[in-house]
């Protein structure tokens, strides 16, 4: 589903502040894999995710999604396959627009944005039913601007928005980092059930080792731009939390 071949990324090349964020990283994800990425700050986790999403282009190496070489494809074009949830809940939704408008945009992620009015009663009903599954009582506030909601509510809606249109890959960049523990667990459970239900290939970046331990069928630890540890499903299952904490000491 996703294949990274010898990806390197250098920022500020040739200057005194040159940084090699990724060094010859190769990684292959099968369909419906759920990869968890851990690693300290500056280890290259977010750069890795950005290179898959297209927010950054790699300095060398290839990115292959569903058999197509997308290495030079702009982020908005890769949205055909990829949905994203950002660390900052404000990044994934438009504050000035209503909940309904936000969902409408998400529902046409992979298609052209035409000069037709797409919000009708059946669309409204579809969004209402979807939001009702969260149990946050937001299904009757569809006209409310996104900006009036809490970070946890926005992040939950961003997750639902990611499956409004045909999605194959879900990228989660520390989705719970800005949230309180209760909202965080709601978000992770929602993400988990959506990934199962829609058979998504997913990548989760997290600093929360408990989350990293609980979710996913593969785990990698990044360090200084390289993959330091790579655990498959059975290795991950037998991994103890204590062991994970020791990786960082």
Partner 1 sequence: MEFYITALILGLCLSSMALGIFISMKIFNIPDITTDGSYTLGAVITAVLLTAHWNAIAIIPVVLAAGALAGMLTGIIHTRLKIEALLAGILVMTGLYSINLTILGRSNVPLLEVQSVFSSVHFFAASVYNNLTLSLLFILSIAFIVGYVLRTDFGIAMRATGSSASMTRALGINNNKMKIIGLAIANSLTALSGYLVAQFQNFTDINMGIGIVITGLGSVLIGEALIKWWSITSIHWQLLTVIGGSILFQLVLAFTLSIGVDPNMLKLVTASFVLLIVIIPRLKKHD
Query: Is residue 92 part of the contact set for partner 1 (CB under 8 A)?
Result: yes
Minimal distance, residue 69 CB to partner 1, in Å: 19
- Interface map 52-81 toward partner 1 (x if CB under 8 A): -x-x------------------xxxx-xx-
Query: Is residue 83 part of the contact set for partner 1 (CB under 8 A)?
Result: yes
Minimal distance, residue 206 CB to partner 1, in Å: 19
| Contacting residues for 185 by C-beta, under 8 A, at least 6 apart | none
Query: Is residue 191 part of the contact set for partner 1 (CB under 8 A)?
Result: no
Query: Is residue 109 part of the contact set for partner 1 (CB under 8 A)?
Result: yes
Task: Determine the interface stretch with partner 1 among 104-112, 174-182, 184-192, 197-205 (rule: CB under 8 A).
Answer: 104-112
Record the tokens describing residue 69, joined without a space: 């070489």
Q: Is the dihedral of CA 96, 98, 99, 105 positive or negative?
A: negative
Minimal distance, residue 125 CB to partner 1, in Å: 18
> Whole-angstrom Cα distance, residue 210 to residue 191?
15
Query: Is residue 177 part of the contact set for partner 1 (CB under 8 A)?
Result: no
Query: Is residue 7 part of the contact set for partner 1 (CB under 8 A)?
Result: no
> Whole-angstrom Cα distance, residue 201 to residue 90?
24
Cβ 222 vs Cβ 36: under 8 Å: no
Helix 99-107 vs helix 151-162: angle between axes, to the nearest 10 degrees? 30
> Whole-angstrom Cα distance, residue 239 to residue 47?
26
Classify strands 218-223 and 226-231 as parallel, antiparallel or unpaired: antiparallel
Task: Determine the interface stretch with partner 1 among 10-18, 96-104, 194-202, 237-245 (rule: CB under 8 A).
Answer: 96-104
Query: Is residue 82 part of the contact set for partner 1 (CB under 8 A)?
Result: yes
Task: Determine the interface stretch with partner 1 among 20-28, 112-120, 181-189, 240-248 (rule: CB under 8 A).
Answer: 112-120
Total residues interacting with partner 1, rule: CB under 8 A: 39
Angle at 240 between CA 229 and CA 218, to 5 degrees: 45
> Which residues 144-173 are close enough to bind partner 1 by CB under 8 A?
145
Q: State the CB neighbour count (10 A cutoff) for residue 74.
A: 11
Shorter beta-carbon distance to partner 1: residue 15 or 114: 114
Distances (CA, A) of 94 to 49, 161, 180, 182: 22, 12, 22, 24
> Whole-angstrom Cα distance, residue 15 to residue 143?
50
Which one of residues 15, 16, 67, 96 is an interface residue with partner 1 (CB under 8 A)? 96
Which one of residues 15, 41, 67, 117 is an interface residue with partner 1 (CB under 8 A)? 117
What does the binding site for partner 1 look like in residue numbers (CB under 8 A)? 53, 55, 74-77, 79-80, 82-84, 86, 90-98, 101-102, 104-106, 108-111, 113-119, 143, 145
């Amino acid at each position: 589903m996703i294949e990274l071949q010898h990806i390197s990324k250098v920022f500020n090349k040739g200057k005194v502040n040159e940084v090699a964020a990724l060094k010859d990283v190769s990684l292959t994800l099968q369909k419906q894999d759920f990869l968890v990425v851990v690693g300290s700050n500056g280890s290259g986790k977010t750069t890795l995710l950005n290179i898959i999403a297209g927010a950054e282009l790699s300095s060398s190496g290839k990115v292959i999604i569903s058999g197509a070489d997308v290495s030079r494809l702009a982020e908005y074009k890769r949205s055909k396959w990829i949905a994203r949830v950002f660390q900052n809940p404000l990044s994934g939704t438009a504050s000035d627009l209503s909940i309904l408008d936000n969902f409408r945009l998400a529902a046409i992620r992979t298609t052209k944005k035409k000069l037709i009015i797409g919000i009708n009663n059946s669309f409204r009903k579809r969004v209402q039913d979807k939001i009702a599954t969260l149990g946050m009582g937001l299904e009757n506030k569809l006209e409310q601007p996104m900006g009036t909601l809490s970070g946890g509510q926005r992040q939950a809606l961003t997750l639902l928005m990611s499956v409004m249109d045909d999605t194959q890959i879900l990228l989660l960049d520390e989705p719970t980092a800005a949230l309180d523990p209760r909202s965080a667990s709601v978000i992770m459970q929602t993400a988990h059930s959506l990934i199962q239900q829609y058979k998504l290939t997913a990548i989760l970046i997290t600093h929360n080792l408990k989350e990293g331990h609980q979710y996913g069928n593969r785990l990698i630890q990044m360090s200084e731009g390289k993959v330091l540890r790579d655990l498959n499903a059975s290795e991950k299952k037998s991994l103890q939390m204590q062991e994970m904490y020791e990786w960082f000491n």
